[in-house]
Structure 1
């Protein structure tokens, strides 16, 4: 029996995307004398996912079978473990089920396990590149593809008279200017993260579930060491990061410098927020929860990222407060040196936009003007605050359920209400300052406020210098030839 790669594709009501995912696997050029088997796990489906998967498997000449799950309460984790158990058996079985000779041969022939999302698509040649990376050294446990968000096609390309207009829009292949702009921000954010990993030697603290090739012995080690019934666990909202940290105890986890995987972006503010809330909450929980019993060698890098976000939040809030107070009391003095961090940020974001795959001229312009990066940063800052405040709450939220509900349109964003509240507060603040102008600019008020303003501007200066040096260091690293 030839060595083989087995792909696990969990699919919950993915009838609209599963064909494209399988088409990507059908495009792959396999390593010499290596076979590819595909297992689609139709997880608690109420649509035609199973039928679409079987039809696509026949269309693209794939060795494909479908597993169906019922009453699986562990969602993606349970689906992946079901595929694993179909090959390696279930340790929780009460009876010793001896495998047939064929099953033993088949199990031993599996040299790599590909974990994929049903809405992802591998670029041609990506599977061979992942295989080469995994087999380049005995101590490599997993290799992840480089992810790039797929840009929605222009909605204007579809005629309103097209009888399939609503169906095409629902699939998510098309989008308006806002969804296309929002997709690029996620794509540039991903590109920045991928470049940082590559400049740090290619080691990653998370093997993303969208497309990662694992060595089976690695996953078996995780099961044995942690007394599990399958490699994946639902103890965390970021099951792929938890698995990666467990793997890193004995194995290397790397990102492929060449293998590409195209994934869907969150096309609205609301779905993006819920996804990032889940990611950030899971990350913070792994960092702070001692009961999980696992630590990553990249823990310092992740903490530095959290501190960087906190610094960005502090600088902006402190600047807004000091600027408002200075203008209100007529004690604002402009200095041209303040443009230094702005110029550095503009150069940095322009370079990142240029290094982002399939960028558009408008993306470069918005990056240089800092319009897009600043809006995107504020959204992430809101998520950061929300997650850390949630750590103080006694109620544990189900990140998976919240994200699924948002993607299905069962919950609504409060963005409009939030913007209205901010506008009202700013308007009231301006009215108060104008109405009380003579009092706020009086010598007594200026004398009282002056020392606090001076201390605040000094503190902000130190924060800004630190952030500026960090940007200079990042610009220095970006001189390399790595690609996102």
Structure 2
């Protein structure tokens, strides 16, 4: 059941009457922002402040629809106060018992303007509603915890209107770095309140945020070096052409553009749009977004993203394919290669040391040096980087730890494909962000340390047996084959890194 806190007809009539002496024939072209907000009282004001900062294209107006989705806090009240503060034309729609979460909230905003195909009554639009609907030239989909940089909306508009066949343009996302916790005095009476806002973080939180920021920068650079076409129009900030969204509805017989059939609803929508339209990333428009501030919330978010991507790639019943499908499969293959190289190297290293057959080769330094150069370049191209970030990138400490976190997710998701029970990615992420579930990182590290200790103990205790000629002769063929496989995989990985370093010589910015 859905209820509107402000009548859309009143909003349309109000917008119409703001244009002096209109002869009931047209309205000024406008952008309408859809902002789904589930208990976002801490972030909605900042999001709307960003919209208030925007310089609109000449003769283009902006309307904002905030969807207070199953809220139990002051999201609606704060949004209305912020609209008055920042001089925004805003209405709040409220949902009750919306089971489709963000998808349902976005479709609520869409239906408030374009109607609901499932409505049993054929409601004729008023003249104001017709004028208003026809005046909408772009729809901005935003998250309530995102903030557009000044000028970003005009840049997105310029990209969308540069060609008739462009269906959506996405902003470049940059994670906001938390402020240092040490900036707040522990004697400050508002200490706990300030910490609860999420604006401050510990040393580990700030380091973890930068890794996500650099990962996002690497992805954005790759898209730009490949011509700017993207296989996902991120929900944090994307400007859509309404006709493209309507095509998705008509072709798939939907009641709204967004679907909850996938954990990555923005990727599914993008693939559907790509059947007839181009989907691009803006080279200049920037949007600041929040990172996952803990390993646990990060894992749940990446599990949702990765499982949704794998589902789109492997589920033929979804009925949509992206022209970027080969590129996405290549990324999956790259993750698998990275996983195999590391696991195989650890196994071969332990086995060769245990049987006293280890032989060092200087050529092993080649991929290490290439990885160091690549990560230094990526760190330098990441917006608002710090000297320590470049140093840690060059030493491969940060990239390797972050890579292992992603490889664990990769392995977990693909193993999950063998399971008959499908997990709810959205529910798991929400639970993690609310602190309702806990990370098993400490337990996992304890198991790894315990296993490593057992292996070391056995290698020392059984050294005479393991280094005997009989064991060495039996193990030697496996070692030889393993090192050959590892060599070929390392060569392939090194060539890929050389190619990426070559591409990064360009002047694109993340």
Q: Is the TM-score greater than 0.5?
A: yes
Note the alpha carbon deviations across 1:227-275, whole angstroms, 9 max, x for none. 0000000000000000000000000000000000000000000000000
Show the 5 A alignment for 1:85-484: 85-484=111-510
SS at match of 1:115: strand
Q: Deviation at 1:162? A: 1.2
SS at match of 1:409: coil
Note the alpha carbon deviations across 1:267-322, whole angstroms, 9 max, x for none. 00000000000000000000000000000000000000000000000000000000
Counterpart CA distance in 1 for 2:384 and 2:302 is: 23
State the match for 2:9 in structure 1: none
C-alpha RMSD over aligned residues? 0.4
Counterpart CA distance in 2 for 1:437 and 1:288 is: 47
Counterpart CA distance in 1 for 2:452 and 2:320 is: 46
Q: How many residues align?
A: 484
Counterpart CA distance in 2 for 1:7 and 1:158 is: 35
Note the alpha carbon deviations across 1:397-421, whole angstroms, 9 max, x for none. 1000000000000000000000011
Counterpart CA distance in 2 for 1:139 and 1:409 is: 44
SS at match of 2:164: coil
Identify the match of residue 80 of structure 1 among 98, 106, 127: 106
Note the alpha carbon deviations across 1:178-202, whole angstroms, 9 max, x for none. 0000000000000000000000000
SS at match of 1:141: strand
Q: Structure 1: 5+ residue runs without aligned partners?
A: none
Q: Deviation at 1:388? A: 0.3
State the match for 2:47 in structure 1: 21
**Which runs of at least 4 in structure 1 moved beyond 4 Å after TM superposition?**
none
Counterpart CA distance in 1 for 2:151 and 2:89 is: 18
Q: Deviation at 1:171? A: 1.1
State the match for 2:17 in structure 1: none
Q: Deviation at 1:98? A: 0.6
Counterpart CA distance in 2 for 1:143 and 1:29 is: 18
Q: TM-score, normalised by structure 1?
A: 1.00
Show the 5 A alignment for 1:59-74: 59-74=85-100
Counterpart CA distance in 2 for 1:437 and 1:392 is: 39
State the match for 1:48 in structure 2: 74
Q: Deviation at 1:165? A: 1.0
Note the alpha carbon deviations across 1:14-50, whole angstroms, 9 max, x for none. 0000000000000000000000000000000000000
Q: TM-score, normalised by structure 2?
A: 0.95
Q: Structure 2: 5+ residue runs without aligned partners?
A: 1-26
